[in-house]
Amino acid sequence: MNNQQLAAIFNLIADLLEIKGEVIYVILAYRKAAESLQNLGREASEYWKEGTLREIPGVGKAIADKIDELLTTGSLRFLEDLKKEIPASLAEWRQISGLGPKKIALIWKSLGITTMEELKQAAQDGKVAGLPGMGEKSAKLILDGMESLSRRSDRLPLWKAAPVVEDLCNILGSLPGVATVSPAGSYRRGRSTVGDLDILVASENPSVVMDAFTSLAGVSRVLGKGATKSSVEFSSGVRAQVWVHPPAKFGTALQYATGSKEHNVAMRQLALSKGFSLSEHSLMGQDGTEHFFATEQDLYAALGLQWVPPEMREDLGEMALAAAGKLPRLVELADIRADLQNHSTWSDGEMSILEMARAAMARGLKVIAFTDHSQSLGVTGGLTIERHAEQQKEIEAAQREVGDGIRILHAAEVEIKADGELDYPDDFLATLDLVLASLHTSLRQPRDKVTARLINAINNPNVDIIGHPTGRKIPDREGADLDMEAVLQAAAKSGVAMEINASPYRLDLDDKYARRAKELGVKISINTDSHSAKDMEAMSFGVAIAKRAWLTPQDVINTWSDEKLLAWLKDKKSAN
DNA sequence: GCCGTTTTCGGCCCGACTGTTTTCAGTCG
């Protein structure tokens, strides 16, 4: 049983307990444990074997015992008993927006219904509207909620969210009286998928913003419209929410709207411990005096904290570091000087080596590696060794053309074949400037086999980087079922770097594994996997993942000087 | 149910918006 499955069980327990009417703090404890398991870079089963389950944040005696029972027997007595009391199908109703635990309990107990179909029927028949505290609008809210639930996917992939956020910011920013616009929420925190889109607007005239936002083209449903906060659903199923605050309060408001919820709870607790009450409007002293902050920096400083980068705001230890003035200097987009996975027309790319190199130069890069596919990946036009010799000539010509502007590396994305062997012989690999090894095929192999394939590649002294390690595609394809802990341990031992593939379709490694890699001393390479100049824009997404993993420039080989990077590549070769 | 630079027991964040209400409960973020 993996972390995701354990987390799902604890979230289910939380849902059922909430409907049952359990005190809120018990529910919060289960949700915290679930959240914590999802963010963990190692499997809980490994902690379990070591007897260190309670080192997982939010896991105390009771939940550790439940994890133990689940891993030992595969089931949980507590949950089975709970299901006899509260039908598990009611937990599905929680996904309907506008329907919370209290109303679910009311409907279930009053009408004796438990399924989605029965709920729909009851809402249509007027039975829901007849309940105490409910009315026609409540029934309609439920029906609308069910309707949009059927249209929505769980979370929005970044490649879908980014253009929408950009459009919204441009439109809102051009309204009269608007001083500033900023994305907030999970998008600003750099998550690889986002839920609803959150946008914060600074203006003294909120009604203009609210009116414009709720009447945008493409809005299919206004979920709420108030004086300073509104939310809408677009016909695409995407939901967005906009807050408006005056510029003088923009700092507190942006901090609040950025979250995460867990980070904000920690912030408020800290404020309380210092005799203040923190809200999205102000920091209020016990005597009622309010302090306003135009910037987040001022707010964090007022609480005795360093400004915490949004990507770190998950309550995973950043508060203590910020209080001690010891936040790491995270890697930034401006630190990136090399992109080490790119494709040209020599395989499945759309542009020539010279065109790509010039595009990279225009972005300020100093090193670009061409990692065209290897021969066995036929659909991509993978290169034979003979064609590599021709490509080498073109690279030399392109290098003469661009001069000192950028260094072009002759590399390859070598296929790790189904049997674990690499697609080129070692003596050829040794001649390349850089070798990136990746899985593209037979991703569904059993865990042991696919893990062994990757480790075999890691142990090849010619391999410098493992590309997009799990092979996942967002949102459609789960990655290979890897024993990531074993993979990262092997990489630490051999000195191979692991890639954070910056493509918003991949973002692989994800942040939790990248963070675990850093703990083990594994170097990271952030690459765009570009097939055209436009793809190079994705670097910022990869950097966001790296920041979420708390990586510094030293951890990321793409930030290193030419000398250091080339020496590192050479050392790996000479260790051959 | 978890947790500890106020605490091993007593806390655990705060406000906007909506609908069904005559002053508030539920939901959401």
Instruction: Please determine, for residue A574, whether its predicted confidence score (pLDDT) is greater than 70.
Output: no
What DSSP designation does A384 have? P
Question: Looking at the structure, do residues A447 and A530 belong to the same domain, yes or no?
Answer: yes
Average pLDDT on A421-444 reads: 94
Task: State the pLDDT confidence band at A273, using cuts at 50, 70 and 90.
Answer: confident
Burial label, A492 (beta-carbon count in 10 A; 0-12, 13-18, 19+): middle
- Give the helix/strand (H/E) hosting A486: helix A484-494
Check residue A413 and give its pLDDT: 95
Instruction: Please determine, for residue A15, whether its predicted confidence score (pLDDT) is greater than 70.
Output: yes
Question: Looking at the structure, do residues A285 and A345 belong to the same domain, yes or no?
Answer: no
Average pLDDT on A39-68 reads: 92
Q: Is the CB of A268 under 7 A from strand B?
A: yes
**Domain region containing A371:** 333-574
Provide, in whole angstroms, the distance separating residue A271's CA from nucleotide B6's C1'. 14
Question: Looking at the structure, do residues A368 and A448 belong to the same domain, yes or no?
Answer: yes
Q: Is the CB of A24 under 7 A from strand B?
A: no
Domain boundary among A111, A127, A150: A150
Question: Looking at the structure, do residues A369 and A518 belong to the same domain, yes or no?
Answer: yes
Question: Tens digits of per-residue pLDDT, A107-116?
Answer: 999 999 999 9
Q: Which of residues 380-439 of A touch strand B (CB under 7 A)?
A: none
Of A152-161, A292-301, A347-356, A511-520, least confident by mean pLDDT is: A152-161
Query: Alpha-carbon dihedral of residues A76, A77, A79, A83, nearest 10 degrees?
Result: 140
Of A82-86, A192-196, A421-425, least confident by mean pLDDT is: A192-196
Check residue A153 and give its pLDDT: 63
Q: What is the CATH number of the domain that holds A236?
A: 3.30.460.10
Check residue A573 and give its pLDDT: 55
Which range has highest mean pLDDT (A113-127, A450-464, A467-481)?
A450-464
Instruction: Please determine, for residue A157, whether its predicted confidence score (pLDDT) is greater than 60.
Output: yes
CA atoms of A337 and A105, how far apart (whole Å): 57
Burial label, A433 (beta-carbon count in 10 A; 0-12, 13-18, 19+): buried
Domain boundary among A150, A181, A213: A150
Number of Cβ within 10 Å of residue A62's Cβ equals 12
Q: Which nucleotides of B are covered by protein (CB under 7 A)?
A: 1-3, 6-7, 11-21, 25-29
Of A56-60, A415-419, A456-460, A572-576, least confident by mean pLDDT is: A572-576
Check residue A570 and give its pLDDT: 86
For A204, list phi and psi in degrees, rounded to 5: -90, -5
Question: Looking at the structure, do residues A30 and A102 belong to the same domain, yes or no?
Answer: yes
Q: Is the CB of A245 under 7 A from strand B?
A: no
CA atoms of A248 and A294, how far apart (whole Å): 5
Q: What is the CATH number of the domain that holds A99?
A: 1.10.150.110
Check residue A441 and give its pLDDT: 87
Q: What is the CATH number of the domain that holds A258?
A: 3.30.210.10
Say which nucleotide is closest to residue A284, CA to C1' distance: B14
Question: Looking at the structure, do residues A58 and A191 belong to the same domain, yes or no?
Answer: no
- Per the listing, tokens 């070598």 go with A414
Average pLDDT on A551-555 reads: 98
Question: Looking at the structure, do residues A370 and A305 belong to the same domain, yes or no?
Answer: no
Please, are residues A230 and A213 in contact by the beta-carbon 8 Å criterion? yes
- Give the helix/strand (H/E) hosting A178: strand A178-183
Q: Is the pTM of this model over 0.75?
A: yes
- Give the helix/strand (H/E) hosting A224: strand A219-225
Q: Is the CB of A249 under 7 A from strand B?
A: no
Task: State the pLDDT confidence band at A576, using cuts at 50, 70 and 90.
Answer: very low
Q: Is the CB of A197 under 7 A from strand B?
A: no
Domain count, chain A: 4
Q: Is the CB of A97 under 7 A from strand B?
A: yes
